[in-house]
Structure formats: structure tokens, C-alpha cells
């Protein structure tokens, strides 16, 4: 009994243990099942939340970095404007206007001999928004003869053409686009996109199994890929959020994010984003995104001006912009375009007649893109420097700013052409080789940089010699020396006699003994003659007399900001300045003593055309205008009779200009600086290794200065004397007051009250004249 009971109890205990283990195992299984579902579920929910945040954060924020676009100065048209018919057509081609006899769209023109009809492109300027309008104009004798509105037939007083785009500031990924609203896109473009990319776009929720199946069938029938299985939403997600790798994980993310995007946003919002995001071409490092830019890149048309055959081509590029590139593979692009047209006909978007007509049309792709590299790197250096004072690099490459500059394309073209010709001609001389050049051209009145050349290769984006090199300026400093002297009218006037004799100075145990270029001494010479002939010894004597410190102060007033050591040698130009700094100095002289900071930018506009920043003309009086008038009058003499007289081998004899040449020791640097009524130009010639170029300022830089001014300047210099200036006849032999009856008399300007008071012997009083006449009368009578 006891044994049976023990056996039974043992069995019961074993059963209980087994039951316990079973229950424990079941609990563990349920626990694993619970946590196995809960943890992955939790992770999945968190991940979906992360995707949701990512989608909304980018889509509701700034989706794209829009590059800043930089424009040249607009061309102004008016009756009498100096512009040739061929030059105007060249401008239209730079603006990417198309020839179209019907003027069916904006940015088109038709030419018949010297008569043009133009449909202009609208543009928002800093001071007004200029709409598109039809104009008719005639050219006669190198100028605009008439300018009329086609619709009204009325004359137009003045019209600004839209400016030429010269550069862009791209973000790091080099994407470029022109944002377009969905309502601005032609309905046919939307129909073409939906026909080829996503027919059920307005029915699905981001992913379409039906589209995948239909694409498979269509591709099998066509024997190639004609449709994709991804919806437009999935394509947008891939472009905006994901990398291009092909994996199941990326595809799963794409599907989930597409559903999230559809959940949060309207279909039209998604479609508008797609229209602006899709990749449609490549130009060098620049990526073409969106149909707004692609329409201009391929057809030189705005999006609203596209026709069926244009639209079908662009829609076809979505499948593979590189593979179907119409410039590189026109036949392949034509087949793809025609396939899109057939799909549109199949869905009833176009009639059979429209389809047939469109398929017969040529591609009509423009011969090239808008630009592939920086066209004016030296000028753009100056623009970037000015912009970075006020804008972050991120703003310049992402906010879509429109930067309107002062660059005048005709002047820039003339500068580049004449620089190339002049340097080639100079290098035909013995031992003249490896010349380099830097030139700055400004508007005389406002200090706006009209053209700039930083080296012999105008397209080289490297060392900018106009801003980055500093060389001795030689005799270009002499106007500042004499300006300092003339600012003391009690001691100096334009006819004050100066000793042009040898001088030796001791400094730091060394002797400085300057000499004239001709190695001669010229004795006492009048101040105006000393400047005209660029005598070194005269300049040194005057500079030492007025004080080197005062000369340095004058240089600062003229605009030189760098530190200048007060050594006697600065009186002969031992100052290292860049061509841009020299231009600022001469700009103050050209502006009659008013200092005007050089400007390369007129205005900065936001992406929507709202003006953000204007760069108006700012001036302050830096030097007495009367004294500057005296110097500018003498600088005219320099060009007419002195070291710059060879300028009139190219310019008309009565075309007034003012300027100065400069040469440094061992003929290392050749300078020319001067101005006409409308432009100022500073030219430097030299070598990068600073060796001798065997050219003086007159035999080198002045050649380019003269050729450039002959081509671009239209206004001779007409100096207007201030009220404090008086003109007095001076006997050139004695330096005393005379009148125009004196045989050697020349009229010179003086500060009022400071002209010579003593009278030249050549002048006689009216009574003396009468007595002489009376004596002569009776003398002849007696002889009779």
C-alpha cells in the first residue's frame, strides 16, 4: 500500500512538473510572440514617423537651392542711340531670341535689311517691371533712326531690352532650374507626362499595382521600355529624398514615402513639385532640372510658348535625358518624341491630324545651351567680392537672387578684341614677348565698371591681374604731385616756372639721383610743360617743395587706401598699385574731384523680382573741383602735345581726351590712364615674371588705350570750368599777362585772383596804339 501510494504520488508529481513546464513554455511562447510583435511594430511605427517627418520637413520647407543669376547691363534703345543693325542682331542672339516672321511668341524677331520687328521678353528691373511688347525699329548710319510700338504705331521714347545673363552662382550639386507654377505649364505638357509616366495619377494613393502591370504589358508589346511602373509620386520621392541605388530596401522606402506624401499633400502640389524637380539634361557641370529651364535650354522659349512637338520631346526626356539627348542623338530623340505623340493620340489628348503634323516637325532644338563656363571671370571676381560683403555664400547659391551688374557687353567685346590685336602687333617687335594685360573701363560719370580684363586669356578663371597684382605705377602718379602744388595757388599756377635740374638725396646711407627719361636737364620749364613732357626732375622738385606728406594725402583723397611709405621715390611712382586701384584714383579726377566708389552691381532682386538692394551713385567731394579742372586741362595737353600725343594717330584731331602714360624702371611696366566724355580706361602691360617688356607707356599701353577709345567712346571730353576759374592770356616767352593780340600768347586757366598781374611787353595801352598810328600816318604823308 505504501509502495503503491509512493508510486502514485511520484506519478502525480511528475505530471504536475510536466504540466508546469508546459504552461511555462506556453507562457514563454506567448511572451515571445507578444514582444516579437510589439517591438518590431514599435520600431516600424517609429520608422514611419521618421519618414513622415522627413517627407514633410523637406516638402514644406525650401525644396530646392536656386542658383543666383547674374546679368549684364541692359541695352537702352532710343532714337539716335549709337548702335549698328548688325550689333543689334548680335545682341538679340546673345539674348537667345529666335527668328520668327510672325513674332508668334515673346523673344522673337524678324529682320529685313536694316529694319527689325521684335517681340521683347518681359523682365523685372530694379525700378520697374517691363512687359513684353512688339516694337519696330530702323537703323541708319550706325544709329537708331526710328523706334515704334507695333500695336499703337506710336513712337517710343526709350526702351530697355532684357539683359543678357552672363553667369550664375550654383550650389554644390550644380543643379539649375527655373521654378514654374502648375497653372503656367501648358495643359498638353501635363497630358504628355501623365500619358507616359502615370496614367492613373489622380486615382492612386502613391503606388499603383495596375500601373506596374500595364507597364510590363506595354513594354513587352513595344519590345523595349516605353513605360515605367513607378508612379509620378514615387519618381518625385526618389529624386527629392533617396539616392539612385537599386535595392529592395530603397524601393520599399520609396513606396512608403510616396504613400505618406499622398496622405499629406494635394495631387496638384505633388505634380507641380515634379514639374520643377525632374532631371532633363546636362551642360558641363550644370544639371538642368524642371521643365521651366528645359524649355529655354533646348528651345530658347518660355514654358508657355511651347508647341506640341516641343512638349512631346521634353516629356520623352524624362525617361532618360542623356540617352535621348536631342543635340547628341537627334534620331533617337525624334523616335522617342513621336512615341509620346502616339500615346497622347491613343488617349485622345490630341487629334490624329495634330499628331501627324507634330511628327512631321523638326526637333527645332537650339544649337547650344545658354552658356557652359564663366564668360567674364575677371569681372565676376569683382562682383563676388562686392556681394560677399553683404551676402552669405549660402544665400548666393540657393535663394535664386537676380544680380544686375554694370557690365556693358559691347565695351567688353571691344576690349577683348583690341587687346588681342594690340598684343599680337606689339610682340612682332624685337625681344617683345610673353606680354600680359589688365584693363579696367568705367563710366566717367558714375564709376560703373563697364568692362574688365584680367589677363590675355579673357576666359581664364585664375589670376586676375586687374585686381590681384600690384605694380609700380611710374608717371601715373605725377598728376597727384602737381595737383598738390596747384592746391596752393599763391605759390603755384599752371605757368609757374620749375627747375628741371639734377637733384641728389641721401636716404639710409644711399644716394637717390633720379634722371629724366631722355637723360637731359631742361632748366626752368613751366608747370604745364613739365607735366605734358613728363619730366621726372621737375616732379621731384615740386614734390619736395610741397612736401611728400601732402602728396600722400592727395593720393588718399583720390581714393588710394593702401598704406604708402613716405619716401621721395613715390614722387616718380614707386608705389605698387593694382590697375583697379589706379582706376579709382583717376576716376576721382575724371569726376571733377568727387570721389565715386567703383561699382560692379546696380541692384539685387529676390527670386520673385522684389528689389532687395540698390547700389545707387554715392559721391563726396574729395578734392577742390577748381584744382582738378586745372589738372584735367593739363592732362588734355599731355594727350595733345606731350607724351600721349600718339593717341591722335587713331583719334580725330578735334576729339578731346585727357590722360597720362607711365613707365617703370627697366621698362618693366607700361601704363596708360585717361578719359573721354563718357569712358575712363586704365591699361597695364607687363610680364608675370616682372622682366622688361621693352615698351614705354606711350609705345605699349597707350596703343591699346587709343584703339579701345576709338571704338567705344562717343563723347569727347568737354570740361566745364567752376565759377572760381578764370581764363587769362599769357605770353609764353615771359610768363606774364598778355592778350590774344600777342603773337606768343596762350590762354590758360587760373584760380580766380591768382593769375599773373604783371603785363607782358607785347601788350600796349590804347593810347600807345593811337600814338603809333598817328606817327605812322604822318611819316608816310611826309614821304609823299
Rounded to the nearest 5°, which phi and psi values hold at 497? Answer: -85, 135
Contacts of 229 (CB under 8 A, 6+ apart): 211, 212, 215, 216
Cα 455 from Cα 453, distance rounded (Å):
6
Helices (H), 288-389: 291-299, 308-317, 330-346, 352-360, 377-387
Cα 662 from Cα 474, distance rounded (Å):
5
CA-to-CA separations, 559 to 364, 385, 562, 587, in angstroms, rounded: 53, 18, 9, 9
CB count, 10 Å around CB of 389?
6
Which set of grid coordinates corresponds to residue 509? 646711407
Q: List the end-to-end C-alpha distance of the chain, in Å, as a whole number.
A: 198
Beta strands at 402-405 and 601-605: parallel, antiparallel or unpaired = antiparallel
Which set of grid coordinates corresponds to residue 448? 560703373
Cα–Cα–Cα angle for 283, 285, 288, rounded to 5 degrees: 50
CB count, 10 Å around CB of 273?
22
CA-to-CA separations, 346 to 336, 359, 591, in angstroms, rounded: 15, 14, 70
Cα 360 from Cα 365, distance rounded (Å):
15
Cα 236 from Cα 274, distance rounded (Å):
6
Beta strands at 76-77 and 159-160: parallel, antiparallel or unpaired = antiparallel
The catalytic position among 475, 493, 670, 706 is 475
Does the annotation mark 168 as catalytic? no
Helices (H), 61-114: 85-94
Cα 348 from Cα 25, distance rounded (Å):
66
Does the annotation mark 197 as catalytic? yes
Instruction: Give the residue among 359, 325, 361 at the shortest CA–CA distance from 343.
Output: 359
Helices (H), 327-477: 330-346, 352-360, 377-387, 393-398, 409-426
Can you list the positions of beta strands (E) in 141-235? 143-149, 159-160, 165-169, 175-176
Instruction: Give the residue among 731, 730, 723, 732 at the shortest CA–CA distance from 751.
Output: 723
HEC letters along 120-154: CCCEECCCCEECCCEEEEEEECCEEEEEEECCCCC
Cα 477 from Cα 536, distance rounded (Å):
11
Beta strands at 108-112 and 98-99: parallel, antiparallel or unpaired = parallel
Cα 329 from Cα 335, distance rounded (Å):
10
The catalytic position among 197, 277, 408, 416 is 197
263 alpha-carbon distance from chain centroid:
45
Rounded to the nearest 5°, which phi and psi values hold at 160? Answer: -95, 125
Instruction: Give the residue among 271, 265, 314, 324 at the shortest CA–CA distance from 292.
Output: 314
CB count, 10 Å around CB of 605?
22
Cα 586 from Cα 722, distance rounded (Å):
19
Cα 784 from Cα 782, distance rounded (Å):
5
Q: Do residues 171 and 184 make contact, with C-beta atoms less than 8 angstroms apart?
A: no
Can you list the positions of beta strands (E) in 540-638? 576-577, 594-595, 601-605, 611-614, 620-621
Dihedral sign for Cα atoms in the order 195, 197, 203, 208: positive
Which set of grid coordinates corresponds to residue 669? 611696366
Cα 280 from Cα 319, distance rounded (Å):
9
Beta strands at 68-71 and 165-169: parallel, antiparallel or unpaired = antiparallel
Q: Which residues are catalytic?
A: 197, 475
Amino acid at each position: 500500500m505504501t509502495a503503491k501510494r509512493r508510486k502514485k504520488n511520484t506519478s502525480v508529481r511528475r505530471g504536475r512538473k510536466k504540466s508546469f513546464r508546459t504552461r511555462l513554455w506556453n507562457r514563454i511562447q506567448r511572451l515571445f510572440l507578444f514582444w516579437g510583435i510589439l517591438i518590431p511594430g514599435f520600431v516600424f511605427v517609429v520608422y514611419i514617423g521618421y519618414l513622415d517627418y522627413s517627407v514633410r520637413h523637406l516638402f514644406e520647407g525650401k525644396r530646392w537651392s536656386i542658383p543666383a543669376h547674374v546679368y549684364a547691363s541692359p541695352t537702352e534703345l532710343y532714337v539716335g542711340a549709337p548702335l549698328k543693325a548688325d550689333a543689334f542682331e548680335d545682341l538679340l542672339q546673345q539674348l537667345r531670341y529666335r527668328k520668327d516672321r510672325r513674332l508668334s511668341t515673346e523673344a522673337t524677331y524678324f529682320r529685313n535689311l536694316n529694319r527689325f520687328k521684335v517681340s521683347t521678353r518681359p523682365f523685372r528691373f530694379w525700378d520697374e517691371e517691363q512687359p513684353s511688347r512688339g516694337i519696330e525699329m530702323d537703323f541708319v548710319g550706325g544709329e537708331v533712326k526710328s523706334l515704334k510700338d507695333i500695336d499703337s504705331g506710336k513712337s517710343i521714347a526709350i526702351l530697355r531690352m532684357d539683359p543678357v545673363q552672363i553667369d550664375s552662382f550654383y550650389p554644390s550639386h550644380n543643379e539649375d532650374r527655373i521654378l514654374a507654377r502648375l497653372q503656367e505649364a501648358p495643359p498638353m505638357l501635363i497630358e504628355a507626362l501623365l500619358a507616359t509616366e502615370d496614367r492613373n495619377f489622380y486615382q492612386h494613393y502613391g503606388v499603383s499595382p495596375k500601373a506596374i502591370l500595364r507597364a510590363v504589358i506595354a513594354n513587352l508589346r513595344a519590345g523595349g521600355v516605353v513605360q515605367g511602373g513607378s508612379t509620378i509620386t514615387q519618381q518625385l520621392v526618389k529624386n527629392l529624398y533617396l539616392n539612385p541605388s537599386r535595392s529592395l530596401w530603397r524601393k520599399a522606402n520609396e513606396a512608403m514615402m510616396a504613400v505618406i506624401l499622398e496622405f499629406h499633400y494635394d495631387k496638384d502640389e505633388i505634380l507641380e513639385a515634379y514639374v520643377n524637380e525632374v532631371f532633363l539634361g546636362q551642360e558641363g557641370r550644370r544639371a538642368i532640372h524642371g521643365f521651366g529651364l528645359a524649355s529655354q535650354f533646348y528651345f530658347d522659349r518660355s514654358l508657355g510658348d511651347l508647341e506640341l512637338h516641343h512638349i512631346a520631346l521634353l516629356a520623352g526626356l524624362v525617361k532618360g535625358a542623356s540617352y535621348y539627348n536631342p543635340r547628341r542623338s537627334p534620331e533617337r530623340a525624334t523616335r522617342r518624341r513621336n512615341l509620346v505623340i502616339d500615346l497622347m493620340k491613343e488617349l485622345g489628348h490630341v487629334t490624329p491630324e495634330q499628331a501627324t503634323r507634330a511628327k512631321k516637325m523638326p526637333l527645332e532644338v537650339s544649337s547650344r545651351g545658354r552658356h557652359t563656363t564663366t564668360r567674364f571671370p575677371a569681372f565676376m571676381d569683382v562682383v563676388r567680392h562686392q556681394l560677399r560683403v553683404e551676402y552669405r555664400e549660402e544665400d548666393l547659391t540657393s535663394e535664386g537672387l537676380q544680380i544686375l551688374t554694370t557690365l556693358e557687353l559691347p565695351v567688353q567685346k571691344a576690349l577683348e578684341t583690341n587687346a588681342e590685336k594690340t598684343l599680337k602687333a606689339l610682340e612682332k617687335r624685337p625681344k617683345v614677348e610673353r606680354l600680359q594685360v589688365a584693363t579696367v573701363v568705367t563710366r566717367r560719370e558714375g564709376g560703373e565698371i563697364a568692362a574688365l580684363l584680367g589677363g590675355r586669356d579673357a576666359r581664364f578663371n585664375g589670376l586676375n591681374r586687374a585686381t590681384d597684382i600690384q605694380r609700380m605705377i611710374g608717371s601715373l602718379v605725377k598728376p597727384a604731385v602737381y595737383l598738390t602744388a596747384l592746391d596752393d595757388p599763391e605759390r603755384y599756377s599752371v605757368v609757374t616756372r620749375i627747375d628741371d635740374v639734377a637733384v641728389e638725396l641721401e636716404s639710409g646711407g644711399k644716394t637717390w639721383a633720379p634722371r629724366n627719361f631722355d637723360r637731359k636737364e631742361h632748366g626752368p620749364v613751366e608747370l604745364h610743360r613739365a607735366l605734358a613732357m613728363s619730366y621726372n626732375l621737375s616732379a621731384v622738385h615740386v614734390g619736395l617743395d610741397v612736401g611728400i606728406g601732402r602728396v600722400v594725402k592727395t593720393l588718399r583723397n583720390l581714393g588710394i587706401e593702401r598704406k604708402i611709405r613716405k619716401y621721395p621715390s613715390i614722387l616718380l611712382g614707386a608705389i605698387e598699385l593694382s590697375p583697379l586701384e589706379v582706376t579709382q584714383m583717376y576716376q576721382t579726377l575724371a569726376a571733377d574731384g568727387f570721389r565715386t566708389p567703383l561699382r560692379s552691381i546696380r541692384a539685387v532682386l529676390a527670386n520673385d523680382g522684389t528689389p532687395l538692394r540698390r547700389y545707387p551713385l554715392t559721391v563726396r567731394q574729395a578734392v577742390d573741383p577748381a584744382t582738378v579742372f586745372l589738372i584735367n586741362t593739363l592732362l588734355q595737353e599731355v594727350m595733345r602735345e606731350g607724351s600721349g600725343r600718339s593717341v591722335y594717330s587713331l583719334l580725330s584731331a578735334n576729339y578731346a581726351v585727357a590722360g597720362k602714360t607711365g613707365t617703370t624702371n627697366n621698362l618693366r611696366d607700361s601704363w596708360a590712364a585717361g578719359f573721354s566724355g563718357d569712358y575712363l580706361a586704365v591699361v597695364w602691360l607687363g610680364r608675370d615674371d616682372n622682366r622688361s617688356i621693352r615698351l614705354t607707356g606711350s609705345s605699349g599701353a597707350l596703343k591699346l588705350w587709343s584703339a579701345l577709345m576709338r571704338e567705344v567712346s562717343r563723347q569727347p571730353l568737354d570740361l566745364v570750368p567752376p565759377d572760381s576759374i578764370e581764363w587769362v592770356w599769357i605770353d609764353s616767352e615771359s610768363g606774364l599777362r598778355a592778350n590774344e593780340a600777342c603773337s606768343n600768347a596762350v590762354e590758360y586757366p587760373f584760380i580766380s585772383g591768382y593769375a599773373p598781374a604783371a603785363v607782358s611787353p607785347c601788350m600796349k595801352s590804347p593810347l600807345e596804339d593811337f600814338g603809333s598810328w598817328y606817327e605812322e600816318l604822318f611819316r608816310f604823308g611826309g614821304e609823299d
